[in-house]
C-alpha cells in the first residue's frame, strides 16, 4: 500500500482547508485509497473567481518574459519529477506506468512550449485606405477562464488548457475530474512552486455543482471543457446565455479504414495501438475498424491473436500492457456495450468475458467484435473502453461513406499503400484530424487539436491555434 494523500483546493495562492468526504481509489486495487478529497461548491468557486479577477490586471500587464519563465520552470519541474508524477497518475487513473510517465513528460513539454509562445504573440501592421493613417492589430488577454478537465488525461489536458491561458496573461479557475483530482492538484502545486503569483491559478475540487458554478459565474469570461456531449451541451448553453467564450471537446467514434493494399503487419499494429492502449480510454481511440473485403479475414485473425495476447493487470506492474478502466461505471459501460453488440448480431472474436485477477480492480478484457453493420449502436455510440468493432466493406468509397456516417468527427485514419486514396481521404474525411498509416490516437502538442460535427465546438486547442481562444484581437488606428 502507498500513502493516502489529503487534497485541498487552491484559492488565491494557498491551500484551503476543507473536509474531505470523498475518496479517489486505485482502479488496479480498489482496496487502496489514493486520495481523500474535498467536495467544493458555489462558495469555493466564488472565492476562486474573485481571486482570479483581482489577479488579472497585474498578471496580464506583466512582461511576457515573467510568464514565460514561470511556465518554463514548471515544465522543468514536471519532467524532473516524471517518475513520481507518472506513478501517481497510474495509481489514480489506471494507465500503465509507462503511459503515466509518458503523459507526464507531455505535460512538461506543453508547459515549455507555451513558455515560448508567451514571447511570440504577435500582431500586424496594415496600410490604411486613408493617407497618413496607420493601423496595428495586437492580441490581449481576455480575463478569467474556467477550465473543466477530464479524467482520462489528468495531467496533460489540465496542462494544455492552463498553459496557453496563463502564457497569454489570463487567470484561471480549474475544476479537475472527480476521479483524478490528485494528479491535477500536483500540477497546480508545481506551477505555484515555479513562482505563479497569488490568484492567477485556482483549483476547486468537487462534483458537478463545481463545474456548474463556474459555468454560471458572471465574472468567468471564457470556458474550456473536455468531456461528454451531454455535459458539453449544458456548458455551451450556460456560456452563450451570458456571452462568455466557450470551447468544447466532446469525444469521438473514430474510424480506421484498412484497405486491401495495406501493409498487413503495420495495419494490425496501428489498430492494436489505436483501439486498446490506454485501455481504449482516449477520445481519439480507433473504435470502428472498417476493413475491405480482400484483406478482412486475414486482418481479423491477425488482430484477434494480438488482442488476445495483451496482458491486462495492475498499472504499476512492468509486465502489464493494458491497465484497468478508471472506475466501476466505466468498466460496466464496456461490458454493457459488448452485450448490446451481441444482441444486435455482432460476433465476439476475442474477449468479452469478465476478468478476475489477483487484486480487486476494474479490469476489462480487451474485446474485438466482428460482423457488425453501420446501424448498430456499437458503431454509433462512444464506449470509451477497450472495445473495437469491425465493419466489412467492398471498396474505398464504401469505407469512406461508413467512416463519415456518424455524428462524431474527431479523428479518422486510413491504412493504405495508395497515394491516391490517402490524399483523397485527407480531403474528404469529415474529421478534424486525419491520420495516414498511423493510429487515430496519438497527436503532437504543438499543433491544433479538435474535431468536426458533434465532437468539438469553438476554437481549436493546442499549438499556435490556442491564441485564437485565449486572446482577443484589438485594432488600433493612429494619425500623425
Q: Which three cell numbers stand for residue 85?
A: 508524477
- For residue 183, the SS3 value is helix
Residues 425, 436 contacting (CB under 8 angstroms): yes
| Catalytically annotated residues | 249, 283
Buried b (16+ CB within 10 A) or exposed e, 211-246: bbbbbbbeebbbbbbbbeeebbeebbebbeeeebbb
- Residue 425 CB burial class (10 angstroms; 0-12, 13-18, ≥19): buried
Neighbours of 188 (CB within 10 A): 23
Could you say which DSSP state residue 189 is in? H
How far is Cα 144 from Cα 223, in angstroms, rounded to an integer? 9
The number of residues making up the chain comes to 480
Q: Which three cell numbers stand for residue 386?
A: 477497450
Selection from 116, 100, 112 nearest residue 75 by Cα: 112
How far is Cα 408 from Cα 126, in angstroms, rounded to an integer? 40
- For residue 179, the SS3 value is coil
- Residue 274 CB burial class (10 angstroms; 0-12, 13-18, ≥19): buried
Amino acid at each position: 500500500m502507498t500513502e493516502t494523500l489529503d487534497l485541498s483546493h487552491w484559492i488565491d495562492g494557498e491551500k484551503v482547508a476543507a473536509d474531505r468526504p470523498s475518496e479517489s481509489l486505485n482502479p488496479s486495487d480498489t482496496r487502496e485509497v489514493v486520495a481523500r478529497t474535498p467536495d467544493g461548491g458555489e462558495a469555493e468557486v466564488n472565492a476562486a473567481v474573485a481571486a482570479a479577477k483581482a489577479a488579472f490586471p497585474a498578471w496580464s500587464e506583466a512582461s511576457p518574459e515573467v510568464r514565460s519563465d514561470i511556465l518554463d520552470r514548471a515544465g522543468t519541474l514536471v519532467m524532473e519529477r516524471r517518475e513520481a508524477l507518472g506513478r501517481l497518475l497510474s495509481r489514480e487513473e489506471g494507465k500503465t506506468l509507462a503511459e503515466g510517465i509518458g503523459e507526464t513528460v507531455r505535460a512538461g513539454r506543453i508547459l515549455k512550449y507555451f513558455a515560448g509562445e508567451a514571447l511570440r504573440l504577435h500582431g500586424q501592421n496594415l496600410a490604411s485606405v486613408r493617407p497618413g493613417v496607420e493601423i496595428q492589430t495586437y492580441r490581449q488577454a481576455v480575463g478569467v477562464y474556467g477550465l473543466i478537465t477530464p479524467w482520462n488525461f489528468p495531467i496533460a489536458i489540465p496542462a494544455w488548457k492552463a498553459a496557453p491561458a496563463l502564457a497569454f496573461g489570463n487567470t484561471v479557475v480549474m475544476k479537475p475530474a472527480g476521479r483524478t483530482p490528485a494528479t491535477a492538484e500536483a500540477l497546480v502545486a508545481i506551477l505555484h512552486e515555479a513562482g505563479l503569483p497569488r490568484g492567477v491559478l485556482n483549483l476547486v475540487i468537487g462534483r458537478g455543482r463545481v463545474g456548474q458554478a463556474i459555468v454560471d459565474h458572471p465574472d468567468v469570461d471564457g470556458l474550456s471543457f473536455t468531456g461528454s456531449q451531454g455535459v458539453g451541451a449544458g456548458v455551451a448553453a450556460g456560456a452563450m446565455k451570458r456571452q462568455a467564450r466557450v470551447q468544447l471537446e466532446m469525444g469521438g467514434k473514430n474510424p480506421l479504414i484498412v484497405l486491401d493494399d495495406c501493409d498487413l503487419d503495420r495495419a494490425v499494429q496501428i489498430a492494436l495501438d489505436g483501439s486498446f492502449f490506454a485501455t481504449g480510454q482516449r477520445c481519439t481511440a480507433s473504435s470502428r475498424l472498417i476493413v475491405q473485403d480482400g484483406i478482412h479475414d486475414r486482418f481479423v485473425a491477425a488482430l484477434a491473436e494480438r488482442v488476445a495476447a495483451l496482458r491486462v493487470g495492475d498499472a504499476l506492474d512492468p509486465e502489464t500492457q493494458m491497465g484497468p478502466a478508471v472506475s466501476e461505471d466505466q468498466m460496466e459501460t464496456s461490458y454493457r456495450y459488448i452485450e448490446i453488440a451481441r444482441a444486435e448480431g455482432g460476433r465476439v472474436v476475442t474477449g468479452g468475458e469478465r476478468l478476475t485477477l489477483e487484486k480487486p480492480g476494474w479490469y476489462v478484457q480487451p474485446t474485438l467484435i466482428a460482423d457488425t453493420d453501420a446501424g448498430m449502436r456499437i458503431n454509433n455510440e462512444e464506449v470509451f473502453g477497450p472495445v473495437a468493432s469491425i465493419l466489412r466493406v467492398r471498396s474505398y468509397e464504401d469505407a469512406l461513406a461508413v467512416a463519415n456516417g456518424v455524428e462524431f468527427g474527431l479523428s479518422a485514419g486510413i491504412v493504405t499503400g495508395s497515394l491516391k486514396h490517402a490524399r483523397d481521404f485527407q480531403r474528404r474525411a469529415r474529421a478534424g484530424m486525419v491520420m495516414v498509416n498511423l493510429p487515430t490516437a496519438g497527436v503532437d502538442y504543438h499543433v491544433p487539436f479538435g474535431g468536426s460535427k458533434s465532437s468539438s465546438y469553438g476554437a481549436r486547442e493546442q499549438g499556435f491555434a490556442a491564441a485564437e481562444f485565449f486572446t482577443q484581437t484589438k485594432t488600433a488606428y493612429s494619425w500623425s
